[in-house]
Structure 1
Amino acid sequence: MLSRMGLGDDAIIAKIESEKTVFDLTTDQMIELKSKGVSSNVIASMLSTGANATPQYSMDSPDPNVPHPAGVYLLTGSGADARMQRMNATVSSQAKTGGIFGYALTGGLASASVKVAIQDETSPVQATTKPVFYFFFDQARDQAASNAWASGANTSVQSPAEFTLVELDKKKGRREARVGSMNIAGAKSGVMDKDRISFHYEMVRPGVYEVKADSVMEPGEYGFIFSLGGGGTAGAMTARIFDFSVR
């Protein structure tokens, strides 16, 4: 032990910092070190290595207590084969207005809908009818390293409550979701209430949530959508959808 050799605190602390060793001390270990003559300053330096350590991330561990890069994950498999699959957000490829003929013909009495479209007819992420998702959100020290939520005004997201789960309409070469409407009475932006699929979430630990749909999901195309940065087609063009298929 360096302290028993008579080295000063400054030398011991410099040694700890230069070797970048991470110490994870329990209370009993701290008491034992103190009883052996290790100073409070050295013990504090040892504790700071754990606080400043860069977390070791996993991309596929099924354990939500293991740090993962910020994002949305689908839990796949079971038992020893369980894995988390990170879902990359699909950015809207176009925005369109539907029902515009009826809107014009009735002088705005009939509603026109604003739709966001994403490419491809199906998602590469395949889920069961009872999917389980995990949302890992940015912590302050990780925001510079992650752009999972970077879009429009929503560069920092705090909980699944900021997302909407919707079923996507499959079209030729694309999928669509209605994200607004307008008629003579005015315009509405955001997903309509009747288009939402209810889900619930539970905090596993700070910044990590388990998310499940409230009922069994029918086969089809779905997505968690957020970041409608503005109303109308402008907002639809900024949409990011964490899309998946139910088979």
Structure 2
Amino acid sequence: MKHITTAFLLAFTSQAAFAEPLTRDEAVNLIALGLGDDAVIAKIAAEKVDFDLSTTEMVDLKNRGISSAVIAAMISNRFVAKVEPSLDSPDPNVPHPAGLYTLLSADGVSRMQRMEPTVTNQAKTGGILGYALTGGLASMSIKATIQNETSRVPVSVSPKFYFFSGESNGDSSSAWASGNNTVVNSPAELTLIRLNRKKDRREARVGSMNIGGAKTGVMDEDRLEFSHSAIRPGVFVIEPSASLPPGEYGFIYSLAGGAAGGAMTARIFDFTVR
């Protein structure tokens, strides 16, 4: 008998845990049974309803003798299925945690991979000798350096990227942190660059100086064009304007400060074209 009782309780608990929301007919039938408003409202609050009430339907229910309190419970207890964000769904209409993703395909299967920014670990100065020998006529460059000769994110020559802001998941801030107390709201704040591959590292020029003055940020000749368009609020698709030759690349942001200071605050979403 004890085993039977235990089995019954487990079955009842399981059914309660996976209860379906009430349909309109079920809610109306409960009221027709004369259970009383308090019991019906408690049932609606516990299991929710799977329908919306139009103004006409509200009037119809009221004319059938259903109380305003029960009608209000039906309106305020609409069941909304919770959708968990995905890290790899290839569908940009599926919620994803905020960030930058690349779309990968292998064996006919597509998936998204979230790209984590690589932090600059060194700032270097190049061309000092030429700058000194020419009295500043030749330029001296500032380079941001990231570790490893190649990225762990391989893409095709015509890659596609997706940008998800907080807004895409209902976050009113609509931005995600990029480090160094800055935020990124759209792909327009990113710069696509080609990285120079060196032994044990990759480099990006983020400043230059000569007798005529100094520049900070990515050099114009190092920028690569890309387009971006909104798919839905907070979600953008990003595509380079031309096919990318094999090599090392990255989307760079957060150059707060000039010269070496800017280089040391850089964050780069790096990838490699093979």
TM-score where L is the length of structure 2:
0.76
CA contact (8 A) 1:114 1:232 kept: yes
CA contact (8 A) 1:76 1:82 kept: yes
Q: C-alpha displacement at 1:101, in angstroms?
A: 1.5
User: Could you tell me which residue of structure 1 aligns to residue 101 of structure 2?
Assistant: 73
Structure 2 equivalent of residue 6 of structure 1: 36
Structure 2 CA distance for partners of 1:18 and 1:164, relative to 1, 3 Å: same
**1:42 pairs with 2:69:** no
1:114 maps to amino acid: I
Mean Cα displacement is larger for which, 113-122 or 132-141? 132-141
Which amino acid in the other structure matches residue 77 of structure 2? M
- Contact 2:125 2:143 (8 Å CA) reproduced: yes
Query: Match for residue 115 of structure 1?
Result: 143
Q: Relative CO higher for 1 or 2, CA cutoff 8 Å, sep ≥ 6?
A: 1
Corresponding position: 1:185 with 2:215: no
Q: Which amino acid aligns with 2:179?
A: S
Q: What residue number does 1:127 align with? A: 155
SS at match of 1:77: strand
In structure 1, the residue corresponding to 2:145 is in which secondary structure? strand
Q: Of residues 255, 264, 270 in structure 2, which corresponds to 1:228? A: 255
C-alpha distance in 1 between matches for 2:180 and 2:219: 20
After TM superposition, give the deviation of residue 123 of structure 1 in Å.
Answer: 0.5
The structure 2 residue matched to 1:210, chosen from 237, 259, 266, is: 237
CA RMSD of aligned residues (A): 2.9
Amino acid at match of 1:244: F
Report the identity percentage. Answer: 52
* Cα 1:94–1:24 shift into 2, 3 Å: farther
Kindly state the Cα deviation for residue 195 of structure 1 after the two structures are TM-superposed: 0.5
- Match in the other structure for 2:193: 166
Separation in 2, partners of 1:174, 1:242: 15
Residue identity in the other structure for 2:228? Y
**What SS is found at the alignment partner of 2:136?**
coil
Post-superposition offset of 1:8: 4.7
Distance 2:50 2:84 in 1: 14
1:196 is matched by which residue type in structure 2?
A: R
Contact residue 131 and residue 213 of structure 1 kept, 8 A? yes
Q: Are the equivalent residues in 2 in contact too, given 1:223–1:243 (CA < 8 A)?
A: yes
Give, in angstroms, the shift of residue 187 of structure 1.
Answer: 1.6
Aligned letter for 1:113? Answer: S
Deviation at residue 182 of structure 1 after TM alignment = 1.2
How far apart are 1:152 and its partner, in Å?
Answer: 1.6
Q: CA 1:46 to 1:244, structure 2 compared with 1: closer, same or farther past 3 Å? A: same
Ranges in structure 2 where 5+ consecutive residues have no aligned partner: 1-26
TM-score relative to the length of structure 1: 0.83
Trace 1:51-66 onto structure 2 (pairs within 5 A): 55-66=83-94
Q: Post-superposition shift, 1:125?
A: 0.5
Which structure 1 segments of 5+ residues have no match?
none
**Displacement after TM superposition at 1:220 (Å):** 0.4
Are 1:239 and 2:270 an aligned pair? Answer: no
